[in-house]
Amino acid sequence: MLRLAVLASLLAAVPARAQRAVAPSVRPTLPSVGVPAVAPLSLPSSAPLLAAPTLALPARTPALPVPAAPTVRTAASPVAMAFAAPAGAAAEARDHGRHGAPAGKAWAAVPKGLASLGRASFSAISNILSKAFDGSDPRPAPPVPADPSEAVSFNGLTLPRRAFSDESRISLAIVAVIDASRESLDIAVHGLALRGVAEALSKAKGRGVAVRIVMNETHAWPRRRGENRQPEVQRLIDEGFEMRTLRGSREYGVMHNKFMVADGRLLMSGSFNWTHAADTWHLENVFFTEDPGRIAGYQAYWRWMWDQSRPADQRPPDSETGPEPVGPPPEDPGRPVRLNGESFPRHAFSPRGTPEAWLVKALDAAARSVDVAMFSFTSPELKEGLVRARARGVKVRLLCDARNAATLDAMKWFISEGWDVRIRAGRDGRKGVLHSKFAVIDGAFTAAGSYNWTENADKNNFENVNFFDDRGSAADYGAAFVRAWAGAKVPTPEELAEWARHGFNEEAGPPASGRTPHPSSR
């Protein structure tokens, strides 16, 4: 049993403090569309509303464990053995594959013969160590469902329409899609720290596939002192990939999308960052679709981002404020998705788009139940939408990431007001985070994507959210909610205080003493 304490729980997404500093609130106006009224989608009587079992949890649950460095069960390679470090090194962990501060005091326990390595970047060392557990995860690739209507075919590859990280290893599906591509791959990804994915992209480029990538700026050009690019990102730059970088607006904006369009015929999107943390510890989800309307919308959005981004080999200006986007993002011209007589687009994009407005409309259309699994929540508009739904008698359940629930005012408000809230960390309840961002309404309507329910996601970040009214999506996302809810806890004040004291934020972990993290990482 090898303890890789330097690879602590790599958290993922825009940090809590960032989500409070945004542009002045401007509520988008939903376009008026002349769509005939459609009867609300209802499940047959034989398919009851998806609901998590009622758990008889005591009023005071056992204290949540403090996040710890992972214990990896794999053969000990000489490199991994050489760099094994004590658990105290976990305080230097970094997320999103961005591990880049000097190791500092954590290297005090390194044998004298390796002491000089204390000056090496944490990024370089952790990536050497990461090779020790590549391929050791026992989870299979996302299984192909028995129901043909729930499967997607792509160049001889068969995929499920949805996949969840507690059941399967999503990175294997990403590699499979890249390997099956024949013509083009248009990718928008927050960061890249998966060796298998980088190798698959390199092979695709080698066989003539046109690979183009938009990446978050600070993953190609890190801003913290001592921080280095991930080797996977460096490889893409060295091999001459068509890659550009994009930063969100104002101080805290990021390019937070995680999607891929393959050969113009397959779309993959969801909450899954292309990192070891997402693949190994977090609760994540993705969906695959061949829907031409969704694909066309994402291609237009990808092009909108590409046209305002810069080549990855060009250093961006050292500005603390990101540029404003060039106009609003593309809109879905159709409104084919239905909820209780209301019409919705297939998808919506930010910044300065309409995701929040459509989500508020969905909450106002809810008649029976709203189940929300959300990594981060700061939006006053969505909070008020839930308040209105609850006042109408709608059953509302909120499943929150434990760390954010302990630090974000909106999440703490739901808990203090006695709402039906549970908290949890990642897949094993200790390491990682609940990184999903989805909601299931009335057991029939699903919203899912990269979009946290935050002001920053709406005003400053490049994000996406999708709306589905098919029963398969509601059933699968509903089942994922039930599984996560069953493993979650009713929070006590003591538990929340412990998570808050631990001091991790989503992006970077605790800053070194006396050092202020860059605004893009707060």
Dump pLDDT digits (tens) for 56-94.
333 334 434 433 333 333 333 332 222 232 222 222 233
Contact criterion met (CB below 8 Å) for 422 and 399: yes
Residue appearing with tokens 């011209």:
333
Last residue of a domain, one of 311, 344, 371: 311
| 27 in a structural domain | no
Same-domain pairing of 95 and 194: no
Q: What is the mean pLDDT of the chain?
A: 78
Same-domain pairing of 188 and 90: no
Burial class (CB in 10 A: 0-12, 13-18, 19+), 140: exposed
Same-domain pairing of 61 and 73: no
pLDDT class of 263 with cuts at 50, 70, 90:
very high
Same-domain pairing of 129 and 246: no
Q: Is the dihedral of CA 226, 321, 308, 284 positive or negative?
A: positive
Q: Encode 339-353 in three state secondary structure.
A: ECCEEECCEEEECCC
| 183 in a structural domain | yes
Pairwise pLDDT comparison (152 vs 123), residue with the higher score: 152
Rounding to the nearest 10 degrees, give the CA dihedral for residues 136, 66, 194, 452. 130
pLDDT at res. 211: 98
Same-domain pairing of 361 and 450: yes
* Number of residues written out for the chain: 522
Contact criterion met (CB below 8 Å) for 273 and 432: no
Radius of gyration of the chain (CA): 22
Residue 225 burial (CB count, 10 A) = 11
Single-letter amino acid code for the residue at 377: F
Same-domain pairing of 113 and 153: no
CATH number at residue 359: 3.30.870.10
Distance CA 81, CA 67 (A): 23
Same-domain pairing of 198 and 287: yes
Residue appearing with tokens 């006396």:
514
| Residue range 171-190: mean pLDDT, rounded | 98
Domain count, the chain: 3
| 38 in a structural domain | no
Q: For the ranges 40-44, 140-144, 205-209, 385-389, which has the lowest average pLDDT?
A: 40-44
Distance CA 505, CA 522 (A): 8
Same-domain pairing of 100 and 214: no
pLDDT at res. 497: 84
8-state DSSP, 476: H
Angle between helices 195-206 and 231-238 (to 10 degrees): 10
Q: Is the bond leading into 351 cis (omega within 30 degrees of zero)?
A: yes
| 320 in a structural domain | no
Burial class (CB in 10 A: 0-12, 13-18, 19+), 58: exposed
Same-domain pairing of 100 and 177: no
| Residue range 408-420: mean pLDDT, rounded | 94
Nearest CA among 147, 449, 464 for reference residue 287: 449
Model pTM score: 0.76
The residues near 38 (Cβ < 8 Å, ≥ 6 apart) are: 338, 341, 343
The residues near 148 (Cβ < 8 Å, ≥ 6 apart) are: none
pLDDT at res. 29: 59
| 513 in a structural domain | no
Residue 416 CA from chain centroid, whole number:
26
Last residue of a domain, one of 135, 161, 192: 135
For every residue of 216-280, DSSP letters joined together read EHHHHS--STT----HHHHHHHHTT-EEEEEB-SBTT-BB--EEEEETTTEEEEES--BSHHHHH
Can you name the residues that pair with 85 across neighbouring β-strands?
4
Distance CA 350, CA 460 (A): 8
Distance CA 95, CA 510 (A): 11
| Residue range 295-312: mean pLDDT, rounded | 97
Contact criterion met (CB below 8 Å) for 240 and 233: no
Angle between helices 195-206 and 170-180 (to 10 degrees): 10
Same-domain pairing of 89 and 184: no
Same-domain pairing of 61 and 83: no
pLDDT at res. 174: 98
Which residues form the domain of 222?
148-311
Residue 3 burial (CB count, 10 A) = 17
Q: Which two tokens stand for residue 210?
A: 């046109």
pLDDT at res. 321: 81
Q: What percent of the chain has pLDDT over 70?
A: 70
Distance CA 443, CA 425 (A): 25
Same-domain pairing of 488 and 386: yes
| Residue range 426-450: mean pLDDT, rounded | 95
The residues near 44 (Cβ < 8 Å, ≥ 6 apart) are: none
Rounding to the nearest 10 degrees, give the CA dihedral for residues 442, 443, 445, 450. 110
Pairwise pLDDT comparison (372 vs 145), residue with the higher score: 372
| 207 in a structural domain | yes
Residue 509 has pLDDT above 80, yes or no: no
| 141 in a structural domain | no
Helix-, strand-, coil-residue percentages of the chain, each rounded to 5: 35, 20, 45
pLDDT at res. 27: 56
Residue 340 has pLDDT above 70, yes or no: yes
